Structure 1
Amino acid sequence: MPINTSSQDEGVTGAAKFVTSTLGNTVGGVTRTAGGVTGAATRGIGDTITSATGSAGKPVGDAIGNAGTGVEDGAKRVARGVEDAGQWR
């Protein structure tokens, strides 16, 4: 593990980076998990509607499933942004 010789990571700045990094990673992880669960559940509901109604319900089931995928993708982007902000990027 390299020794950090940067004065930017010492003292108050180093402490602030540690806190924001920890907070950013935690919030990012929770957001990613919630988005994944919501996306999977919504896709499951869409699949159920399609299975139960056949071709008549396929457009509705597909739309619901696609909405779930969109929620999951959006949550991943938000999580990444929060984590990047926590890393001061």
Structure 2
Amino acid sequence: MPLENNNDKGVTGAAKFVTSTVGNVAGGVGRTVGNVTGAAGRGLGDTITSATGSTGKPVGDAIGNVGSGIQDGANSVAKGVENAGQWKS
């Protein structure tokens, strides 16, 4: 019969449950905000490019790239928060 692992029982188990839940919620909210901000930035960039043609393309592309960068950064932070909540290193 295998020995039972007692690492996730009692106070430690309760703490892991709470931090995991909080980490997952905070990570999900952060990811959502990043995705919305990224999509809005790309949409604004596309609108500027469409409205101004080749003249405004550099500005439109820059705004779109900023939106994508914000989204990528928010997703990275969200993953880190979720990992911390699950006590992963």
**Percent identical residues:** 73
Instruction: Give unpaired runs (5+ residues) of structure 1.
Output: none
Q: How far apart in 2 are the matches of 1:35 and 1:6?
A: 38
Gaps of 5+ in 2: none
1:38 aligns with 2:65: no
Q: What's the counterpart of residue 66 of structure 1? A: 65
Spell out structure 1 runs of 4+ moving beyond 2 A.
none
Task: Measure how far apart 1:6 and its partner are.
Answer: 1.6
Q: Which residue of 1 aligns with 2:80?
A: 81
> How many angstroms apart in 2 are the aligned matches of 1:12 and 1:76?
30
TM-score (normalizing by structure 1): 0.94
State TM-score, norm by structure 2: 0.94
**CA-atom RMSD, angstroms?**
0.4
- Corresponding residue number in structure 2 for 1:29: 28
Structure 1 CA distance for aligned equivalents of residues 69 and 62 of structure 2: 10
Q: Quote how far apart the aligned CAs of 1:37 are.
A: 0.2
Q: CA deviation at 1:24?
A: 0.3
Task: Please tell me whether residue 20 in structure 1 is matched to residue 26 in structure 2.
Answer: no
Q: Deviations over 1:30-84 (max 9, x none)?
A: 0000000000001000000000000000000000000000000000000000000
